[in-house]
Amino acid sequence: MMDPPLHSQVRSPVQRCNTTEEALAFFDSLPRVDVAFMLGDWAGVEFPSSHPLDGVLAAYGWRGKRFESEEHVWPLLFEIGGREFCLRPRWVLPAARLVLRLPWLKNPRLASLLRPALRLLSTRRSRARLRMLSFRGCVSASLVYDDVPVEDVFRRVDEDTVLGLMNLKGLAQPFFFLLERALQGPEHSDLAGPRRRERPRNAGESA
């Protein structure tokens, strides 16, 4: 029996896209989000669009992102054995290039053997910031990495789901993913700083 599409694992139904062009059209149809909307913990899954990197994050245990504040973001959260850690983004570029050259590295069985080594490439510090950036004619909340030429741009699917587009310098196609507000975090975390679980409520919102 085939596994369900990755984007069917989120609570909110999201349309299927089979190509970059379809994914871009869907992305462009979605409304903007502001920085305050993004604060908190988000669970992540890939949004397949026939990208050469489709499957790699799921194979290696990516679990999402944490937006502590505008200045402190942990962009690459992974989990092994119930313990959460953040992969240092400086390894994103060489890892992406390696997978593009050697796509068999996405094999789930091989990834399960290599996954524990990711802890050697982890960091406790935040490695990105949140900013409002203009992209494809729309100003929306975006994650700007500190050390690498990458931005993740977000558009709102619903109150608890966003579609992300990773814009990586040197990568011909954008890479898509979904984030959904995390209902529960891991049992243990190696990250520095406090944790926040929910988006701050706007004035007038009920508790």
> Structural domain tally of the chain?
1
Domain-located, residue 196: no
pLDDT at 94: 85
Structural Rg of the chain based on CA atoms: 16
Residue 70 has pLDDT above 80, yes or no: yes
Is pLDDT above 80 for 12? no
Q: Give pTM, 2 decimals.
A: 0.81
What CATH number has the domain bearing residue 144? 2.40.128.580
Residues contacting 22, CB < 8 A, separation 6+: 49
Alpha-carbon gap, residue 157 to 180, rounded angstroms: 10
pLDDT score of 115: 86
Q: Within 13 Å of residue 43, how many CA atoms lie on the same side as its CB? A: 14
Q: Which residue type, as a one-letter code, is found at position 103?
A: P
- Does 87 score more than 50 pLDDT? yes
Model confidence at 4: pLDDT above 80 = no
Range of the domain at 38: 16-189
* pLDDT tens digits along 141-197: 999 999 899 999 999 999 999 999 999 888 888 999 999 998 655 554 555 554 444
Which of 21-35, 78-92, 138-152 comes out lowest in average pLDDT? 78-92
Instruction: Report d(CA 167, CA 162) in Å as an integer.
Output: 16
pLDDT over 80 (residue 25)? yes
pLDDT value, residue 82 = 81
- 68 is a domain residue: yes
Q: How far apart are CA 98 and CA 128, in angstroms?
A: 23
Asked whether residue 38 is assigned to any structural domain, the reply reads yes
In a domain, 121, yes or no: yes
- Answer yes or no: is 156 within a domain: yes
pLDDT tens for residues 103-146? 999 999 999 898 888 888 888 899 999 999 999 999 999 999 99
Within a domain: 177? yes
Assess if residue 31 is contained within a domain: yes
Residue 71 within any structural domain of the chain: yes
Closest CA to 157 of 176, 175, 172, 173: 176
Task: State residue 13's pLDDT score.
Answer: 54
Helix (H, G, I), strand (E, B) or coil at 102: coil
Q: What is the pLDDT of residues 35-48, one digit of tens each?
A: 999 999 999 999 99
N-terminal to C-terminal alpha carbon distance within the chain = 43
